[in-house]
Chains A and B, each alone.
Chain A
Amino acid sequence: MTPCFNEMFQNGDVRAPYAGLEGWSADMPADVRLAKQAEAEALFRRIGITFAVYGEGGDPDRLIPFDMFPRVFTGAEWAKLERGIKQRARALNAFLVDVYGRGEIVRAGRIPGKLVYQNEAYEKAVCGFIPPKGVYSHIVGVDIVRTGPGEFYVLEDNCRTPSGVSYMLESREMMMRMFPDLFRVNRIEPIDSYPDKLRRTLASVAPAKCDRDPTVVILTPGHFNSAYYEHSFLADLMGVELVEGQDLFVDGAFVYMRTTEGPKRVDVIYRRIDDAFIDPLCFRPDSMLGVAGLMDVYRSGGVSICSAPGAGVADDKAVYTYVPEMIRFYLGEEPILKNVPTWKCGEASDFKYVCENLGDLVVKEVHGSGGYGMLVGPKSTKQQIEDFRALIMADPGNYIAQPTLALSTTPTFVEEGIAPRHVDLRPYCLVGERIELVPGGLTRVALREGSLVVNSSQGGGVKDTWVLAE
C-alpha cells in the first residue's frame, strides 16, 4: 500500500496547523500523560457517556476510548470541507423532495428507478408530501476520509439520525478542562453553539399550522437504546423535553405530550427511532415505541418529524454512488468533495472487475453498517477472501466494492508513547431554514496499529477536532 498522509509530520517537518501541539506533546512527561488519561476516562465514566455510534451494535455500556491528541484543520482546509458538505446536504435534500414527488432524476435516466423505488427505505406513505422548507434530512452526517494535503473523500452520508455529536461536544469539553492552556495558545473555533443551532434548525421547520414559539421534543426509544445518553444530553442542552412514544398521543389533528400541567401540543419531533417504529397504524403494527396516528397528523401538516420519514433512501450505499450526479442534476455544480470510486457488484462489468481484484478492494454490504459484513482485501487471508467471494457470487446486488484508501493518520497516544493512527471525520450539517455546521465534527481513530476500521465496535476511539481561526 502507498504510504499514507501523516497530518502532523511531513518529511520530518511539522505541518503548520499542528505547530501549537509539537511542544505540548513532546514535553509531556509519561506520568502526567497517564494521569491525564486516567482523569479523562474517569470523567467520561462519571457523566455516563458510554454508547455506540449509530448502527454499530456492540455493548451499549462500553466506554469508547478517548484519545487526548487533537486532530487539527486549518481554516482554509475547513472552508473547503464546509462548502462541500453543505453542497452535499442541499443535493441530498433536493433528491428526497424529488423522488417523493415527480421523480425527475429517474425520468431523466440519471439514476435507476429500481434503486430508488424498490429500495427498502423508500416510503410510499410520504409520496407527494413536501415537508416544511423542503427538508427531509435535517441533520446530515457526512463521513469523510483524507488521503493527502488537499485530498478528501466522502465515504458515506447519514441522512436519518446520525449519532455521535455528543462525543464531539464532550471531547471538546474534556480537552478544555484538562488542557486549558492549549486553548489560550491556539486559536480554536468554538463548537459549543451546536445545541442552539440544532434547536433553531428544528424550530425553523415547524409546520404551517404552528402559530407560536414551536414546542420541540426529542423522541427516544428509551434507556436501553445504545444512544440514549446522547438523546438526553441533547435534550438537556437544547432545553427541550425528552419523550418516549407513550408520553405522546394524538388527539384530533395534533400531537400532544402528557405533562404535569396537562396535555401540551408538540410541533416538532426530533425522533431518534427508525421509520418502521414511529407509527403502528402506518408502519409496523407491533411497534410499541412510536405514536399511533402520528403519520396522519404529520401528512396533514399538524406536526414535523425530523428526519422526515423516508429520508433513508438517500443514504443507501448503492444510492451513494449517484450523489455526484445529484449535485450536477439539482444544483448544476461540480461536486466539491469526491466520492470514493465504487464498483457495484450488481453490474456485470463491475462484478467482473471486483472478482478479479478482491485482494486489493474493500467490499461492503449495500445495507450493512458499522464495519460488519465487510472485507478488507489487503488485510485478509486467502481463505477469508474466498469465503467472501462465495457471498458476493450468491447475491451480487447486495455488495459494493471500493479501493483501499490510504487513510491519513494523526499522532495518537498509545501504550509506547505517541504513534500515527488512521482517522476519519463526521461533521454534522444542520439543514432547516438555513444550512449550517459548527467547525469540525467527530474524529474517529482506529486505535489498533495499521487498522483502517474506525468504528467503535471494532476498536475505534474518538478525538477532539480543531479548526483553527484564520
Chain B
Amino acid sequence: MLLNVDHTTLYRYDRPVRGVVQSHRLTPSRFDGQQVLDWAVTVSGGSMGGGFRDGAGDWVQGWTVAGPVTEIEVRVRGQVQTTDTAGILRGHKELVPPEAYLRASAATEPDEALRALAQILINAESPLAGSHALAEAISEAIAYKPGSTQAQTTAAQALAQGEGVCQDHAHAMIAAARAADVPARYVSGYLQSGADGGDHEAAHAWAELYLQGFGWIGFDPANRCCPDARYIRLGSGLDAQDAAPIRGISRGQGTEILSVAVAVQTQEQ
C-alpha cells in the first residue's frame, strides 16, 4: 500500500521563548514491511543538529531553534510503500537485547490487575496465542474513549478506569507482558486515516512483544489487530515518553499551546 503522510505540529507561545531544543524520532523504521519513497521533516527557523541511528534501530535527529520565537512548525511529509508482514518486524536491524525491555518504567509499573492479565500470557498454550489473547483482553478491559486519559496516565490507572486511548492500550499490554517475563515495548507511528471507518487517530501507538522464534511482533489492542499495511512504524521505547516522536523543551517563560494535524492517506483513494 502506498501511504502519504502529512503531519504538522504547531507550537505557539503566548510570550516569546529564548530557544527550543527538540529530539525527533520522526523517520520510518527500516524493515521488510515498509520502504520510504520520499520523506522530509522541516522545523521552521530550526537548525538541524546531530542525527544518528540508535541501538533500537530508530533514526534520532536533534533540532534547535534560536529565539526569540513565538511559533514553531514541525512538518513531516512523505510517502511510504508498505506491505503486510502480519505484525512481524522482519528485517529490522537493532542491537538492544530484548532483555533490556523487561524493565518496568513509571508508566508501565504493574499492579495487581495487570499481573492478573499477565496470567493469560503465562498460562497460554503458546506465547503467540497468549499474546493475541492478552491483546483481546486489553481491548475488552479498556474501552476506546478519546479524552478520557492524559499523557501521564499510567497503565494501571487506565485499566482501573476502564477507558483510554491507544497509548493506554499499549501501556497496559506492555506492563502485562513484562509481568509475564516477555520483553515488550511501546511503538509510535502512523495509521491510515479512517480507511475502515474505525474511530482511531492517524498518529498512533501500539505494542511490540518479543516472542522466541518470531522476534518482535506488533499488537494493536486499540484496533484489535496486528499492524498491517495501513501502519507506518517510526520508533520504539520503554513507554510513550521514551518512544515519543517529538521530545522538546523551550527556554523561557512562554506557555506552550500545541496543535496537531495528521493525515495519512492511500494513493489509490
Contact = CB atoms under 8 A, between A and B. Distances in A.
B257 interface: no
A280 B241 CA distance: 11
A102 B95 contact: yes
A338 B99 CA distance: 31
Nearest to B19: A249
Contact of A128 (B22, B54, B62): B54
Contacts of A120: 103
Interface in B218-269: 238, 241, 247-249, 251
Contact of B102 (A118, A129, A280): A118
A127 B95 contact: yes
Nearest to B248: A281
Given A293-B23, A296-B23, A297-B49, A127 B60 contact: no
A127 to B, nearest CB: 3
A61 B48 CA distance: 45
A378 interface: no
A384 to B, nearest CB: 33
A127 B54 contact: yes
A103 B21 contact: no
Given A118-B99, A280-B249, A297-B50, A124 B56 contact: yes
Given A101-B95, A124-B100, A296-B49, 18 more contacts: A106-B97, A114-B99, A117-B100, A118-B102, A125-B55, A127-B54, A128-B95, A249-B19, A250-B49, A251-B47, A252-B48, A253-B48, A281-B248, A282-B247, A296-B51, A296-B62, A299-B52, A302-B49
A357 interface: no
In the A-B complex, list the 4 residue pairs whose CB atoms are closest, starting with the nearest. Answer: A300-B50, A127-B55, A296-B62, A128-B55
Contact of A251 (B66, B241, B249): B66
Interface size class of A (residues with CB under 8 A): 35 or more
Contact of A299 (B50, B241, B251): B50
Contacts, number: 102
B66 A296 contact: no
A297 B54 CA distance: 13
Interface string B14-46: 000001011100000000000000000000000
Given A117-B99, A281-B249, A300 B51 contact: yes
Interface string B53-65: 1111000111010
Interface in B47-97: 47-56, 60-62, 64, 66, 95-97
Contact of A253 (B62, B66, B95): B62
A122 B95 CA distance: 14
Contact of A300 (B56, B62, B95, B99): B62
Interface string A237-253: 00000000000011111
18 contacts: A117-B97, A118-B103, A122-B100, A126-B55, A128-B53, A251-B47, A251-B49, A253-B62, A280-B249, A281-B22, A281-B249, A282-B23, A292-B21, A292-B251, A293-B22, A293-B249, A300-B50, A302-B50
A117 B97 CA distance: 7
Nearest to B241: A285
B178 to A, nearest CB: 10
Contacts of B54: 125, 127-128, 299
A188 to B, nearest CB: 47
Contacts of A450: none
Contacts of B249: 280-281, 292-293
A113 B54 CA distance: 20
Contact of A250 (B48, B52, B62, B241): B62
A100 interface: yes
A293 B62 contact: yes
A177 to B, nearest CB: 46
Nearest to B61: A296
Nearest to A106: B97
A293 B23 CA distance: 7
Nearest to B101: A124
Contacts of A293: 21-23, 49, 62, 64, 249
Majority SS of interface residues in chain A?
loop
A252 B48 CA distance: 5
Contacts of A297: 49-50, 62
A264 B194 CA distance: 50
Contacts of A126: 55
A114 B97 CA distance: 10
Interface of A: 100-103, 106, 113-114, 117-118, 120, 122, 124-129, 249-253, 280-282, 285, 292-293, 295-297, 299-302
Contacts of B248: 281
B128 to A, nearest CB: 23
A124 B102 CA distance: 12
A100 B55 contact: yes
A108 to B, nearest CB: 14
Contacts of A122: 100
A300 B22 CA distance: 15
Contacts of B55: 100, 124-129
Contacts of B19: 249
A114 B51 CA distance: 30
A102 B51 CA distance: 22
Nearest to B99: A117
A290 B265 CA distance: 40
Contacts of B62: 250, 253, 293, 296-297, 300
B242 to A, nearest CB: 8
B106 to A, nearest CB: 10
A252 B247 contact: no
A281 B96 contact: no
A124 B96 CA distance: 7
B245 to A, nearest CB: 13
B175 to A, nearest CB: 16
B49 A253 contact: yes
Interface string B197-233: 0000000000000000000000000000000000000
A185 B64 CA distance: 61
Given A285-B241, A293-B64, A253 B23 contact: no
B97 A113 contact: yes
Given A125-B54, A126-B55, A300-B62, A281 B102 contact: no
A252 B50 CA distance: 7
A113 B99 contact: yes
Contacts of A250: 21, 49, 62, 64
